[in-house]
Amino acid sequence: MADSKKDTKTINGAQLLIKLLEHQGIDIIAGIPGGANLPIYDALYESSIRHILVRHEQAAGFFAQGISRTTGKAAVCFATSGPGATNALTAIADAKLDSIPVVAITGQVSYSLVGTDAFQEVDTYGLTLPITKHNFLVRDVMELFEVIPEAFRIAVSGRPGPVVVDIPKDVQLQTVNLSELPDIFILEEEDIEDKETLNTIEKAARMINESKRPVLYIGGGVINADASQIITEIAEKSSIPVTCTLMGLGAFSPENPLYLGMLGMHGARYTNFLLDETDLLIALGVRFDDRATGKVESFCPNASIIHFDIDNAEINKVKKAHINIVGGLKPILNKLAPLIKANERKEWIGKLNDLKEKHPFVMPPETDLFHPLTIIRELGNILSEDDIVATDVGQHQMWTAQGYPVRKPRTFLTSGGLGTMGFGLPTAIGAAVANPDKRVVCISGDGSILMNIQEFATLADLQPDLKVIIMNNGYLGLVRQQQEMIYNKHYIASKFDSSPDFAAIAKGFGIKGVRIGTDENPIEVIRKCISEPGPCVIDVPVRSEENVVPIVPPGKANYEMIGGEL
C-alpha cells in the first residue's frame, strides 16, 4: 500500500473520517456545522481539505453535485443531524434520479440516545433509504475503515448514485488506533471477453448494418460512461441520426448534421416525426423516461430496440428490448464500432433533411430581443464550448435545452429526473469552484431563483466567475403554460403578485446586480457582464406569456405535439 501510514497513533472517529476522505482524494467539501457534527469540523480544522460554508444544507448537496457533474468524480457534503439532514434530502434525491455520485456525511445524535427523540434527532437512515443508492448508519468507529471506502465505491461504480453515511456523535468521538488506511477503489474499464456478450454485439452490428432507418437515442448514461466520442464515430460511419435526452445533452455535437436535438415532450417536431418512422432504435444509457417517450405504446411503433445500459433493471422496464447488453457502454461500443459498415443511407438522411425542412425547430426572429430563446441562442454565441451552463427548473430550463448548443459532455447541468427548482445556483457555484478556469452561467427563473437565493451569500464569499441570468416573467411559467393549454385558462397560484428587485437583492448580498430595462438591448448588457470577471446577477424582463413549444401534452403520443409549427 503506497499511501499507508506505518506509525500507530490514537485518533478519534471524526479524525479518522477526515483522514479517509483525504485518502480518497477529496479536496473540497461543502456543508454546515451543527451540534452533532462538530467533532467532524474539529477534525477538519487540521485538514488540507477546503471547506465551503454554504447557507442551507440543500445547497451543500447541490454544491457537491456541481463538482461531481462537471468532473465525474464523487463529491462530498456535510450536514448535521435533524434539520441539517432533512434539508439535504432534496439534493440527495435529485442525485439519485440523475445518477450523480455524491457522498453525504451526516452527524447523528449519540448512538446511546438514538431512539429517544433527542434534540435534533431524526431517522436519517430511514429518511434516506428510498432516495440513495445505499446508506449506512455507523454504529462503531471500526466500521469507518470499511464504510467510507465502500461508500465511494458504491457511489461511482456501476450506475452512479448518492450514498449517505450517518455517523453518531459518540462514534465520532470514539478513539481508535490508526495503523494503516484501507485501499481506495479505482474504477477500471473492463474489456469484454464473455462469449455471449460478444455474440450479442455481433448481432447488434448486423441489425444496425441491415437497418434502413436507424436512430441513436442517447442519454445521461453516455456522459457517465464517457462514451460520446465512440458514439460519434459510429453515427458518422453509418450515417445514423442522433437524438439526446435532457440528461444526454452535450454527448453529441449540435453542429453535426446528424444531430436531432432533444426528443419527446419539448423536442423539435421533425425529431419526434423521424422517431415515428425509425425501424431500429439504438438506445444507449437511457431509461425510456415518460418525458422522452410520451405515450409508451406509440413510441417508435415500428422499431426494433437495441438497449445497452449499465443498469440491468432498466432493460425491459418500460419498453421491451429485442436485444440488450448490461454493462459499461464504452467497452461495448469499442467492440461494436469496428463491426459497423460505412453506409451513406441516402434515403433515410434525405427523409431527415426533408422533415427538418418542413418541421424545423422554430426560433423567434433575432430582433425579438426579449424572447428567452433569443437570449439563450445569443448566450451560445457568447460562451465557448468549455464554459458551463447550469439551469434551474421550468420554462427557462426547457428553452435552454432547446436553444443552447451544448457542445461538450459535462458542460450542461440540469435537474432532469427530480426537476428541482433551486438546483441551479448552488450547483453552478460548486461547478465554478471545481473548475476555476471556466466561466459558469446559471440560467434561472424568477420562481426558481428564490428557492435557494440565500446562496448569493456563498457567491459573495467565493467571488467565482459566475453569472446568474434570471429570466423574469412574473410567473411560475411552466405552470401558467399548462393552465393555459390544458386547464382551460384557469390561472391559479401561477402569477406572482409582487416581484422582488433581484439586482438590489444581489447588491444587498455584496455582489453585482443588473436589472435590464425594457428599453435596453439585453444581449449587449449580458455580453458586457460576462466579459467582466466575478459574480453578477442579471435580471432580464422576458416576455411574460411565451410558451415552450412544441409540447406533447402529458399522456399523449409524441406525434401529437402542439405548437412550434412553421
Give the footprint of other proteins on this chain (CB under 8 A). Answer: 125-126, 129-130, 133-135, 137, 154, 311-313, 315-317
Residue 134 C-beta: closest distance to other proteins, Å: 4
Residue 125 C-beta: closest distance to other proteins, Å: 6
Ramachandran assignment for 395, one of left (phi > 0), alpha (psi -120 to 50 degrees), beta (any other): alpha
**Sign of the CA dihedral 511, 517, 523, 527?**
negative
Which CB atom, from 157 or from 239, has the smaller least distance to other proteins?
157
Residue 91 C-beta: closest distance to other proteins, Å: 19
All three cell numbers of 338, joined, read 469496428
CA-CA distance, 56 to 461, in Å (whole number)?
14
CA-CA distance, 207 to 203, in Å (whole number)?
6
Residue 190 C-beta: closest distance to other proteins, Å: 19
Residue 482: which of 555, 409, 538, 415 has the closest Cα? 555
Which CB atom, from 125 or from 404, has the smaller least distance to other proteins?
125
Tell me if residue 465 falls in helix, strand or coil.
Answer: coil
CA-CA distance, 462 to 322, in Å (whole number)?
51
Residue 335 C-beta: closest distance to other proteins, Å: 24
Number of neighbouring beta carbons within 10 Å of residue 440: 29
CA-CA distance, 247 to 98, in Å (whole number)?
8
- Residue 486's contacts (CB-CB under 8 Å, 6 or more residues apart) are 553, 554
All three cell numbers of 359, joined, read 418541421
Ramachandran assignment for 8, one of left (phi > 0), alpha (psi -120 to 50 degrees), beta (any other): beta
Residue 93 C-beta: closest distance to other proteins, Å: 12
Which CB atom, from 1 or from 129, has the smaller least distance to other proteins?
129
Residue 503: which of 517, 523, 519, 520 has the closest Cα? 517
* CB-based contact 334:230 (threshold 8 Å): yes
CA-CA distance, 216 to 283, in Å (whole number)?
6
Which CB atom, from 94 or from 446, has the smaller least distance to other proteins?
94
DSSP 364: P
DSSP string, 474-518: SB-HHHHHHHHHTSTT---S-B-S----HHHHHHHHTSEEEE--T
Residue 133 C-beta: closest distance to other proteins, Å: 8
Residue 18 C-beta: closest distance to other proteins, Å: 24
Residue 169 C-beta: closest distance to other proteins, Å: 19
Residue 114 C-beta: closest distance to other proteins, Å: 11
Number of neighbouring beta carbons within 10 Å of residue 441: 27
Which CB atom, from 43 or from 151, has the smaller least distance to other proteins?
151
Residue 304 C-beta: closest distance to other proteins, Å: 20
Residue 444: which of 416, 424, 462 has the closest Cα? 424
Which CB atom, from 317 or from 495, has the smaller least distance to other proteins?
317
Which CB atom, from 75 or from 131, has the smaller least distance to other proteins?
131
Which CB atom, from 28 or from 142, has the smaller least distance to other proteins?
142
Please, what's the b/e burial string for 156-194 (b: 16 or more CB within 10 A of its CB; e: otherwise)?
A: bebbbbbbbbbbbbbbbbbebebeebeeebeeeeeebee
For residue 383, which phi and psi values (nearest 5 degrees)?
-85, 155
Residue 291 C-beta: closest distance to other proteins, Å: 19
Residue 103 C-beta: closest distance to other proteins, Å: 14
CA-CA distance, 455 to 424, in Å (whole number)?
10
For residue 322, which phi and psi values (nearest 5 degrees)?
-75, -45
Q: What is the dihedral of CA 4, 67, 262, 407, to 10 degrees?
A: -90
Residue 179: which of 5, 3, 1 has the closest Cα? 5
Which CB atom, from 115 or from 350, has the smaller least distance to other proteins?
115
